[in-house]
Amino acid sequence: MPDLLAARSQMAMSLGFHIIFAMVGIGMPLLMVMAERRWQRTGDRVYLELAHRWGKGTAILFAVGAVSGTVLSFELGLLWPTFMEHAGPIIGMPFSLEGFAFFTEAVFLGVYLYGWERISRRAHLAAGWAVAVSGMLSALFVVIANAWMNAPTGFRWVDGRAVDIDPIAAMMTAAAPTQVVHMILAAYASTGLVVAGVHAGGLLRQPRNGFHRRALAVALLVGAPAAVLQPLVGDQSARFVARFQPVKLAALEAHFPTQRGAPLHIGGWPDEAAGETRWAIEIPYGLSLLAFEDPHAEVKGLLDFPRGDWPPVAIVHLAFQVMVALGSFMALVSLVALWQMWRRRDLTRHRWLLRALVLTAPMGFICTEAGWVVTEVGRQPWIIQGVMRTAQAVTPMPGLVVPFLVFTALYVGLGLVVAWLLYQQVARSPKVAEENAA
Amino acid sequence: MTGLGPAELVAGAILAALTAYVLLGGADFGGGVWDLLAFGPRKRQQRALIAEAIGPIWEANHVWLIIVVVLLFTCFPSVFARLAITLHIPLALMLIGIVLRGSAFSFRSHYGPGHGEETGPGARTSAHWGRVFASASVGTPVLLGICAGAVAAGALRAPGASGSGGFVATFVAPWLTPFGLSVGLLTLVLFAFLAAVYLTVEARDPALREDFRRRALVAAGVVFLVAFGALGLSLREVPPVGRGLTTGPGAVALHVSTGAAALAAIAALWWRRFRLARLAAAAQVTLIVWGWALAQYPYLVPPDLTIRDAAAPRITLVLILWALVAGGLVLFPSLVYLLRVFKREPAGP
């Protein structure tokens, strides 16, 4: 395996692993404080039990997120020292702010998990909110740093180095707003719907179980609105890509010749050698309309760009299709569930809805992984769009396949253990009959 | 040396964060060492006390390391790049230790005994996680110390500049030295020493307190032996550090203070003045870290990267200093609150 490929694989694997735990670290705290708040308001002890269990799940997931995040902060240098040497002074600011947000999250998670008997109820709930808010802020700052790689600003690149650095301007990169909101919504949608799916499954087996009912209601309140809003933000994000990263847009749409009134490709397989996309369903004018709000707008195709500037088209196109398809399905199921909740219908009467929720459970995470593939692989061959190529940034250290395999084995093992622990916890859900619950 | 500018202030902040990591995060690793070495009639109570002391705070303590890394790559990017390239192997191994220590501890704390599984398969798995946690707590500090030793020894030249430029010469030889290993060992025993001293304060049961008092006294003795060993090796193997450590500006005063703090810690342990011992031990370890920093000032990575030369543009440094002030305003009250909540008796049932 060539070193560059090994380095990219290790980075992709590390990010792909960490993002799951990072998202849960944003979403779960919101679930646990909502459950605790309901307990404090209603005195219903089932909500207290939920807050305890969700807190416990958050604890191990946050711990794995914290250590895998540490690995990433080092890997930025271990794998891409040249990138960090140039980008550090420009984009280190949001990383530092993220450090403080993460610090706050760690402090108050400690207070929350171990402080049930030590502080007042009000202080305990406030600690939970502090965890939820600082988790969200961490995402904000880190995604700003990533957005800068897509639309770098706040410096001039002269003779292979950055001059006139302005870290504040770098943080104001045009890519940030949509990318940040897209990521935070993804965290709420994925976490909320995976928990909803688990308890929908519980209700399919025990429709009268009050524990699952309450858990499902809280989880949907976090996950469903985010899942409904997500396609709208995604659309904004795609429009940004159309303007700032036309090659990425062309790759994710598998759009080869430049065209006015370009069609939208659904599915299909891009043939890079032939420069065409086969077996796709084409929606006439769809791409021009979505990207530029004008059915006759010209959309630049891959063939108009040098071959050396193309990302791997098939991977990016496929990942984009997966994200859009599953994301749309999640939005649809969430909309139906919210509608039923708003009409105060008993969700357990609709077994088809519970089944659909079980089906959507893993989709948020799959979408997020696919979305990051679109963002990161779609930016290739650049590590800083238009400024520095990934191949220029990689470490001179040889034999990078070894750390790649070692860290992969470590994370696969860790992932299996976490999955087993969570499975054990879910399997031991209490059997609270609906009538005794209150 | 032309006075203090923003670069020196950020370097000072990095030193402060590193000191905090050593004093707080280091002691958490030291706790893992005593978990591994737990023996005697109160073996279980020893482990329980360690878990209780580390549980609520280890993640917060761990973040100091991330602060060090982030400040380094933002404000001294060439230093970060140099360390990441030449120390790739020990840093990667250290990361594996960090991952295993943190996850295993969390798995054990939240799904082990005391959580409805005192016996049976759950307890066995928990003992298994305990061993992973404890072994990773031993390995990680050694690797951290090896990296520090390589920096102090001035062995981390730009890749390609070190003559032959072979794999071993560039990526292994600079850190795999007797001096590096001695600093790794010193880091380990210092962390264990800190943990034992802190645990004498945290133990409520007098017998348990005596357990950790004896451990702290033994560790203090080992620290002396290893520290003199490392100093000896530094004189033989790495002249620049040896010179800085023995004759550098203020070096003598610093050595006298370090020795005084070490003796004060031992005396306080001997007469069971545990809070005083904790203060003295923390002072001793702080002075060791600062002594290292002073010995290589103004170099961040000797022999060529100085604070001034490696610093990022002024605007970055100034903004980071403001960010540190703003972050500190949130962080320090939060940390004080965390310690106030957990390092005192529970308010009652």
Convert the pLDDT of each residue in A97-149 to its tens digit. 999 999 899 999 999 998 898 999 999 999 999 999 999 999 999 999 999 99
> What integer best gives the mean pLDDT of chain A?
92
Q: How many CB atoms lie within 10 A of CB A223?
A: 31
**C-alpha angle B110/A68/B195, rounded to 5°?**
60
A430 preceded by cis ω (within 30°)?
A: no
Burial of B88 (0-12, 13-18, 19+ CB in 10 A): buried
Q: What is the pLDDT of residue B70?
A: 95
A33/A424: higher pLDDT: A33
Q: Per-residue pLDDT for A437 more than 90?
A: no
Tokens of A248: 């990425």
User: Which pLDDT tens digit goes with each residue over B126-151?
Assistant: 788 888 999 999 999 999 999 999 99
Q: What is the pLDDT of residue B127?
A: 80
Q: Per-residue pLDDT for B113 more than 70?
A: no
Q: What is the pLDDT of residue B347?
A: 46
Q: Per-residue pLDDT for B277 more than 90?
A: yes
Q: Residue B214: which pLDDT band, with cuts at 50, 70 and 90?
A: very high
A92 vs B99: CB contact, 8 Å cut-off?
A: no
Q: What is the pLDDT of residue A250?
A: 93
Residue B179: which of B265, B245, B134, B135 has the closest Cα? B245
CB B56 within 8 A of CB A114: yes
B253/B315: higher pLDDT: B315
C-alpha to C-alpha distance for B260 and B254, rounded to whole angstroms: 10
Q: Residue A438: which pLDDT band, with cuts at 50, 70 and 90?
A: very low
CB A397 within 8 A of CB B85: yes
B316 vs A76: CB contact, 8 Å cut-off?
A: no
A99 vs B91: CB contact, 8 Å cut-off?
A: no
- Residues 395-414 on A with a CB inside 8 Å of B are 395-399, 403, 406-407, 410, 414
Q: ipTM value of the model?
A: 0.91
Q: Per-residue pLDDT for A414 more than 80?
A: yes
Q: Which residue has the tokens 């895998």?
A: A68
Distance from CA of A126 to the nearest CA of B (A): 12
Task: Please name the member of B55, B84, B335 whose beta carbon is closest to the beta carbon of A114.
Answer: B55
Q: Per-residue pLDDT for B156 more than 90?
A: no
C-alpha to C-alpha distance for A266 and A337, rounded to whole angstroms: 27
Q: Per-residue pLDDT for B243 more than 70?
A: no
Q: Residue B248: which pLDDT band, with cuts at 50, 70 and 90?
A: low
C-alpha to C-alpha distance for B43 and B62, rounded to whole angstroms: 26
Q: Which residue has the tokens 């050698």?
A: A273
Q: Per-residue pLDDT for B255 more than 90?
A: no
**A76 and chain B in contact, CB less than 8 A:** yes
C-alpha to C-alpha distance for A191 and B193, rounded to whole angstroms: 42
Q: What is the pLDDT of residue B297?
A: 83
> What integer best gives the mean pLDDT of chain B?
87
Q: Give the torsion through C-alpha atoms of A126, A127, A130, A131, to 10 deg.
A: -140
Residues of B in contact with A67 (CB under 8 A): 62, 98-99, 101-103
* Smallest CA–CA distance from B54 into chain A, residue: A110
Q: Residue B234: which pLDDT band, with cuts at 50, 70 and 90?
A: confident
CB A129 within 8 A of CB A35: no
CB A21 within 8 A of CB A65: yes
The pLDDT of A379-398, averaged and rounded, is 94
pTM of the model: 0.92
A78 vs B88: CB contact, 8 Å cut-off?
A: yes
Q: What is the pLDDT of residue B170?
A: 86
Task: Please name the member of B69, B82, B167 whose beta carbon is closest to the beta carbon of A73.
Answer: B69
What is the DSSP code (8-state) at residue B87? Answer: T
- Can you give the C-alpha Rg of chain A in angstroms? 23
B102 vs A406: CB contact, 8 Å cut-off?
A: no
Residues of B in contact with A85 (CB under 8 A): 77-78, 80-81
B73 vs A92: CB contact, 8 Å cut-off?
A: yes
- Strands A382-384, A388-389: pairing kind: antiparallel
Q: What is the pLDDT of residue B164?
A: 56
Q: Residue A433: which pLDDT band, with cuts at 50, 70 and 90?
A: low
B319 vs A93: CB contact, 8 Å cut-off?
A: yes
Q: Per-residue pLDDT for A35 more than 90?
A: yes
For an interface test with A, the pick among B10, B29, B57, B110 (most A C-beta atoms closer than 10 Å) comes out as: B110
User: Which pLDDT tens digit goes with each residue over B54-64?
Assistant: 888 888 889 99
C-alpha to C-alpha distance for B95 and A403, rounded to whole angstroms: 11
Q: What is the pLDDT of residue B349?
A: 36
C-alpha to C-alpha distance for B344 and A121, rounded to whole angstroms: 18
Q: Residue A40: which pLDDT band, with cuts at 50, 70 and 90?
A: very high
CB A64 within 8 A of CB A19: no
Task: Please name the member of B98, B103, B159 whose beta carbon is closest to the beta carbon of A396.
Answer: B159
Buried b (16+ CB within 10 A) or exposed e, A408-430: eebbeebeebbeebbeebeeebe
Q: Per-residue pLDDT for B339 more than 90?
A: no
Q: What is the pLDDT of residue B244?
A: 58
Q: A164-173, A346-355, B213-222 — which is least confidently predicted?
A: A346-355
The pLDDT of A201-217, averaged and rounded, is 92
C-alpha to C-alpha distance for B102 and A230, rounded to whole angstroms: 33
Q: Per-residue pLDDT for B159 more than 80?
A: no
C-alpha to C-alpha distance for A226 and A220, rounded to whole angstroms: 10
Contacting residues for B315 by C-beta, under 8 A, at least 6 apart: A165, A166, A167
Residues of B in contact with A96 (CB under 8 A): 67, 70-71, 74, 320, 323-324, 327
Residues of B in contact with A92 (CB under 8 A): 70, 73-75, 77, 312, 316, 320
Task: Please name the member of B99, B101, B337 whose beta carbon is closest to the beta carbon of A71.
Answer: B99
* Smallest CA–CA distance from A404 into chain B, residue: B92
Task: Please name the member of A86, A103, A115 whose beta carbon is closest to the beta carbon of B60.
Answer: A103
- Of these ranges, A10-24, A256-270, B44-58, the one predicted with the greatest mean pLDDT is A10-24
**A205 and chain B in contact, CB less than 8 A:** no
Residues of B in contact with A167 (CB under 8 A): 315-316, 319
**A300 and chain B in contact, CB less than 8 A:** no
Q: Give the torsion through C-alpha atoms of B209, B211, B216, B221, to 10 deg.
A: 150
- Residues 105-164 on A with a CB inside 8 Å of B are 106-111, 113-115, 117-119
* Dihedral pair phi/psi, residue A382, rounded to 5°: -95, 145
Q: How many CB atoms lie within 10 A of CB A433?
A: 11
A78 vs B91: CB contact, 8 Å cut-off?
A: yes
* Smallest CA–CA distance from A76 into chain B, residue: B84
DSSP assignment of A378-396, as one string?
A: HHTTEEETTTEEHHHHS-S
Distance from CA of B116 to the nearest CA of A (A): 11
C-alpha to C-alpha distance for B56 and A426, rounded to whole angstroms: 24
Q: What is the pLDDT of residue B130?
A: 87
The pLDDT of B226-238, averaged and rounded, is 85
C-alpha to C-alpha distance for A71 and A78, rounded to whole angstroms: 10
C-alpha to C-alpha distance for A289 and A280, rounded to whole angstroms: 18
